Chains A and B, each alone.
Chain A
């Protein structure tokens, strides 16, 4: 079960390999009508398993204005929970259930310039941004680092961005361009970073060292970083107790106990599973709650976070 509303029915119009490991889906409404618009950088939830539903979020790569289709580019993740493998099996004509687009990484409306930094498949939301900025003639630049053998969307980015695109194939080449760029952006520039965690940490760390204000730094992580050691603990609920083993997440234990907890990314990113805490200390491992919210101890993201002690009491 899931309280998520995957009530958007879409049909796969096209499934195209972009590289050996990245596949692009073009999804349309069954009657080919226009789909709901979305802000650039939004993601689409695709239900890849039913009963209980599992939904994975994928960044939409269009500019979002009155779209006639939704395009997502999905990296196959060997050893993942199964969502990306499911996408790679979809055929043209398949029907999928989707959660309407959600925005968590939109362009800053009051920025004078936009500096986009993408690593690997992290290019997807920033391709959406680049389309938007190109369309509205905003000032922007895109730094895209990718492996030599896998550079999804590189050709169309070249056409779209022209000399505003700097593509590099390794870390040293990225920093040779990005290092000076971070130090020389005009006042009012917004920085956007999407890619693997080490890259996000390195880029935001460099920006902070150059005294970029926090409000001018936007990130879109793929998931919470490696969670560290897990220990078993108990969860007290009104009228019952659930034991959480070291092998499962708090969310999995709650679902095993038959509780209907809304969830989507299951990686500590989307915020869908935010749950109120009645008592007990939380070991926060998510990327959703602010430092102040974490310190308040009032909320937990059960998909990745755990109890800091032996027991946690939730208000479900």
Chain B
């Protein structure tokens, strides 16, 4: 493991392992974008042909329509399902937050971040990959307490879209909010 990854291992920054397909009574695969669709389908190629698969492809973004449709698909799931979520990290993390809020446990979710999957193909420690560089991410503003979409690296600076506060994208990540903590600059003396 690289020194940077060793440091991130002590944080809540999402880590992405090479996905493995668990046995299941059924599968629900949802992907966000074409590349994610290819990765989800490659994973499902190893599924037992007798196990039913439901699949849905979405655009590579998170919006109200996507949320409504994903909610409908999850409501139709029965215990024993395994849910595959693939797409850009920020979209997949929001999908995971919704699916968990609807009752799924970590054991029932297989997640693929396309950025991490791309990095992993070159990395020697592919089992433990973090999307820490510049990427689309959701940031929770500690000043106005709203989340917004940004493009930034962990440790980078962004301006809050709600209150315009200058924020540092922290390494603290909240699963239920699917967002990184945004510290107003000047309040980051703990670093």
Contacts and interface: CB of A to CB of B under 8 A. Distances in A.
A183 B108 contact: no
B78 A213 contact: no
Interface string B143-168: 00000000000000000000000000
A210 B102 contact: no
Given A211-B24, A211-B25, A214-B107, A184 B102 contact: no
Contacts of A211: 22-25, 80-82
A216 B79 contact: yes
Interface stretch (A64-72, A152-160, A185-193, A220-228): A185-193
Interface in B98-129: 102-105, 107-108
A147 interface: no
B103 A210 contact: no
Contacts of A111: 103
Interface in B59-78: 74-75, 77-78
A187 B79 contact: yes
A185 B103 contact: no
Given A187-B104, A215-B105, A210 B25 contact: yes
Contacts of A183: 25, 78, 80
Given A110-B103, A111-B103, A215-B105, A187 B77 contact: yes
Given A210-B25, A213-B107, A213-B108, A189 B102 contact: no
Contacts of A110: 103
A185 B77 CA distance: 9
A68 B105 CA distance: 37
B105 to A, nearest CB: 5
Interface residues of A, number: 17
Nearest to B26: A211
B25 A187 contact: no
Interface string B37-79: 0000000000000000000000000000000000000110111
Contacts of A186: 75, 77-79, 103
Given A186-B79, A210-B25, 20 more contacts: A112-B102, A183-B25, A183-B78, A186-B78, A187-B78, A187-B102, A187-B104, A188-B102, A189-B79, A210-B79, A210-B80, A211-B22, A211-B23, A211-B24, A211-B25, A212-B80, A213-B79, A213-B105, A213-B108, A216-B79
Interface of B: 22-25, 74-75, 77-82, 102-105, 107-108
Cβ-closest 10 pairs across A and B = A188-B103, A213-B107, A187-B77, A211-B80, A112-B103, A185-B79, A210-B80, A211-B25, A187-B103, A215-B105
Interface of A: 110-112, 183-189, 210-216
